[in-house]
Amino acid sequence: MSVIKINMIYTELLDIPIKRPHQFSTEKVLEKSFVLIKIELSNGVVGIGEGTTPGIWWNGESVETMKLVIDKYIHPLLINEDITYIERILQRMNRQIRANSFAKATVEMALFDALGKLYKVPVHQLLGALYQDRVPVRWALATGEDKGDIQEAKACIVNNEYVNFKTKSGKEPPEDDAKRNLRIAEGINGISSIGIDPNGSWDRNTTIKWMEHFFEAGIDFLEQPLTPYDMEGAAMLVDMKKVPIMADESLSTVEDAYTLAKEKAANIFSLKIHKSGGMKNTIKIAGIAEAAGISCFGGTSLESSIGTAACLHAFVTISNLDFGSELFGPRWLADDPVKQPLTIKNGFIHIPDKPGLGVEIDEEKVEKYRRKEQGEVIV
């Protein structure tokens, strides 16, 4: 095969509405923004990817910063590079550009999609091949109040969509938050269970106070209850041996994974390809977890079917994904910018078996949701 080089990189911003307001610890959102990337090869193959974050409050990146970094700094590094040397390309990005893991993951996603199409194999075959072909999906309850969350959970179960849940917490004072979560757990007791995700907004004393109550209520896990910087506090919670503690915001890099394992500050790692700079780094982190006896959970940045497919291709290669995933992004959006969204059925999401990521952009939808430049009118 002759050398296939990277010809051009294109990016654009999309704003897609969601089905219902979603309450995070810091804000309630009505739509989700994405940076869509296309990498065109010298033989005409085009790899696609997307970048998105829960919000700039989460790690400091936004779709706007991602687009800027890709257009101004990553684009010049990749032009005329041999697509088959992905690892060399990734290391060059790391050498030339500090941090910006979400932007780098977006680029890596498109590179692997292109390479998979070039070799006519699904991306998971390039990452280590299948351990499983479907992954359980846990739905996030985030209406913002307990009665709404209970009703939503029961409806999901009746409709055979999801069987397990987690709550988005942190908006209220920790004491009130803990009580609200216990009411939700009681409201679906006997039919399902919940994990709790305060997004690092609780304090040590309140969390310790309620751990026994959470244990008695059958709470599945506490995801990042304390600030990401409180490693000592997280280790204290783990040492209580009550509810498993999941690391999310405190876990981004391979080095973070090593430190968390060494300090015994997590029972579960929440894996997210964007926060860790891509699929390859995510798999490395899962390997550290496996060596330390730590379970993994397939986290989400609430991607469309494009980014969700990339997450899934990484997750299906991981043997210690013991807590399933929360890859519900395609169902959470009011629309999906692909021709055929990923399949989520009876609480499982299924891996596509087509070359590359296995999803195809719907250009009409992309045009519909493309962010207008100031003064621009889209006819």
Q: What is the CATH number of the domain that holds 32?
A: 3.30.390.10
326 catalytic? Reply is yes
Mark whether 210 and 333 lie in a shared domain.
Answer: yes
Domain shared by 133 and 226, yes or no: yes
Between CA 359 and CA 369 the distance in angstroms is 18
- Which residues, in sequence order, are CB contacts of 172 under 8 Å at separation 6+? 180
Query: Is the domain of 18 the same as that of 83?
Result: yes
One domain, residues 67 and 82: yes
* Of 32, 67, 104, 168, catalytic: 168
Q: Work out whether strand 134-136 and strand 139-141 pair parallel, antiparallel, or are unpaired.
A: unpaired
What tokens appear for 314 in the block?
Answer: 């990484």
pLDDT at 379: 44
Q: Does residue 240 belong to any structural domain of this protein?
A: yes
Percent of the chain beyond pLDDT 70? 98
Q: Same domain, yes or no, for 29 and 156?
A: no
- Return the residue matching tokens 């430049």: 373
3-state secondary structure of 141: strand
| CATH number of the domain encompassing residue 345 | 3.20.20.120
Partners of residue 65 on adjacent β-strands: none
Non-local (6+) Cβ contacts of 163 within 8 A are: 156, 157, 192, 346, 347
pTM of the model: 0.96
Count CA atoms within 13 Å of residue 123 on its CB side.
31
Structure tokens, 292: 């330390």
Same domain, residue pair 112 and 200: no
Evaluate whether 199 touches 142 at the Cβ level (below 8 Å). no
Within a domain: 106: yes
Tell me the C-alpha distance between 164 and 167, whole Å. Answer: 11
Rounded Cα distance between 272 and 270, Å, is 7
Range of the domain at 268: 126-350
Is there a domain that residue 197 lies in? yes
- Long-range contacts for 52-56 (Cβ within 8 Å, ≥24 apart)? 52/102, 52/274, 52/301, 52/302, 52/303, 52/304, 52/307, 53/102, 53/274, 53/301, 54/24, 54/301, 54/302, 55/24, 55/26, 55/27, 55/29
- Give the type of residue at 361: I
Please indicate, yes or no, if residue 355 is contained in any of the structural domains. no
Answer yes or no: is 92 within a domain: yes
- Let me know whether 41 and 109 are in one domain: yes
Active-site choice (108, 152, 303, 326): 326
**Domain assignment present for 374:** no
Q: Are residues 96 and 221 in the same domain?
A: no
Which contiguous run of DSSP H or E holds residue 261? helix 254-263
Domain check: are 197 and 243 in the same one? yes
Residue 379 within a domain: no
- Is residue 64 domain-shared with residue 140, that is, in the same domain? no
Q: Are residues 174 and 279 in the same domain?
A: yes
Is 108 among the residues known to form the active site?
Answer: no
Per-position pLDDT tens, the chain of length 379? 689 999 999 999 999 999 988 878 777 888 999 999 999 999 999 999 999 998 898 889 999 999 999 999 999 999 999 999 999 999 999 999 999 999 999 999 999 999 999 999 999 999 999 999 999 999 999 888 999 999 999 999 999 889 999 999 988 999 999 999 999 999 999 999 999 999 999 999 999 999 999 999 999 999 999 999 999 999 999 999 999 999 999 999 999 999 999 999 999 999 999 999 999 999 999 999 999 999 999 999 999 999 999 999 999 999 999 999 999 999 999 999 999 999 998 889 999 999 999 999 999 999 999 998 764 544 4
Q: Collapsing DSSP states into helix, strand and coil, what is residue 84?
A: coil
108's enclosing H/E stretch is helix 101-119
How many domains, in total, are found in the chain?
A: 2
DSSP 26: S
Give domain status of residue 377, yes or no: no
SS3 labels along 151-200: HHHHHHHHCCCCCCEEEECCCCCHHHHHHHHHHHHHHCCCCCCEEEECCC
Q: Which residues contact 11 (CB under 8 A, 6 or more apart)?
A: 35, 36, 37, 38, 67, 70, 71
Statement to judge: residues 214 and 139 lie in one domain:
yes
- Token pair for 369: 């949701």
